[in-house]
């Protein structure tokens, strides 16, 4: 079984809709991250959380919010989706003191 899972894997939605992407991990890591990937731009950090009570904005947090429901769960919400949020979204985890991040399989989001 995968250590980091994301649901849904694919989603099509309309402009203005609220949508939530979920991430769960069984690695026991304390840190979790949300990134988006756009063609030619690599990955950019949206939000990160070092533990359940610690949430921080990344470089492109506008239009997004997150919730760390438990150590193993970190969800990303788009309150009112817009077309330029169409992207591939990745969740990642790491253990504090260990710098390597491990990624989920990604969620492809299309906003019409």
Partner 1 sequence: AQKVTQAQTEISVVEKEDVTLDCVYETRDTTYYLFWYKQPPSGELVFLIRRNSFDEQNEISGRYSWNFQKSTSSFNFTITASQVVDSAVYFCALSEPHSSASKIIFGSGTRLSIRP
Task: Identify the residue among 1, 41, 70, 84 touching partner 1 (CB under 8 A).
Answer: 41
Three-state DSSP at 65 gives strand
Task: Identify the residue among 90, 93, 109, 111 touching partner 1 (CB under 8 A).
Answer: 90
Q: Is 93 in the site for partner 1 (CB under 8 A)?
A: no
Task: Identify the residue among 1, 53, 62, 100 touching partner 1 (CB under 8 A).
Answer: 100
Cis status of the peptide bond prior to 8, with omega within 30 of 0: yes
Q: What's the distance, CA 10 to chain centroid?
A: 13
Task: Identify the residue among 64, 87, 94, 111 touching partner 1 (CB under 8 A).
Answer: 94
Pairing assessment for the beta strands 87-94 and 64-70 based on DSSP bridges: unpaired
12/95 Cα distance (integer angstroms): 32
Residues that bind partner 1 (CB under 8 A): 31, 33, 40-45, 48, 50, 56, 58, 88, 90, 92, 94, 96, 99-106, 108
């Amino acid at each position: 079984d995968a250590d980091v899972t994301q649901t849904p894997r694919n989603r099509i939605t309309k402009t203005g809709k609220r949508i939530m992407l979920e991430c769960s991990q069984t690695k026991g890591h304390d840190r979790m991250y949300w990134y988006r990937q756009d063609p030619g731009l690599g990955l950019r950090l949206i939000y990160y959380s070092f533990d359940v009570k610690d949430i921080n904005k990344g470089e492109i947090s506008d239009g997004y919010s997150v919730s760390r429901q438990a150590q193993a769960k970190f969800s990303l919400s788009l309150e009112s989706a817009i077309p330029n949020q169409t992207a591939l979204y990745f969740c990642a985890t790491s253990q504090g003191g260990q710098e390597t991040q491990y990624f989920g399989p990604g969620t492809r989001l299309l906003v019409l």
